[in-house]
Amino acid sequence: MKEGLVGGQGFAVDASLISADVQKQNSGNPEDWAAREIDPADAPRAVREYLDTLDDEAFGAATTAKPKFTAHVSPASQWTAARKGLAFFACSDN
């Protein structure tokens, strides 16, 4: 802005999809997932840190949308058909 190359009136972000290494067969409805019955306090430290990260607004807590499916091995990934083809689990990277 100081050099006069941009005005600062607009801003755009493009997210790239990165396919998660999971299969739909290894997913389930988040409400039915037995992991919700597990006490996170009983989990190892690394798992607790990962769960805390998922609660961060930069990750899963950034949206109020409820996912149809949750991948058991990659709960941060989202079920998407954004490429106008078959749906798959992916993570967004800006």
**Residue 6 covered by a domain:** no
Cα 1 from Cα 41, distance rounded (Å) = 48
Q: Specify the number of domains making up the chain.
A: 1
For 83, the domain range is: 16-93
Q: What is the pLDDT of residue 61?
A: 59
What is the model's pLDDT at position 71? Answer: 79
Residue 33's pLDDT is 61
Task: Please report the pLDDT score of residue 41 as a whole number.
Answer: 79
| Mean pLDDT, residues 42-54 taken together | 76
- Domain-located, residue 10: no
pLDDT at residue 10, rounded to an integer: 78
pTM over 0.75: no
Residue 40 within any structural domain of the chain: yes
34 domain-assigned:
yes
- 72 located within any domain: yes
Residue 1 within a domain: no
Q: Give the pLDDT confidence of 55-93 residue by residue, as tens digits.
A: 676 665 566 777 777 777 777 788 888 878 888 888 877
Strand order in the sheet with 78-80: 16-19, 88-93, 78-80
Bridge partners, 71 (sequence order): 27
Q: Does the residue 51 lie in any domain?
A: yes
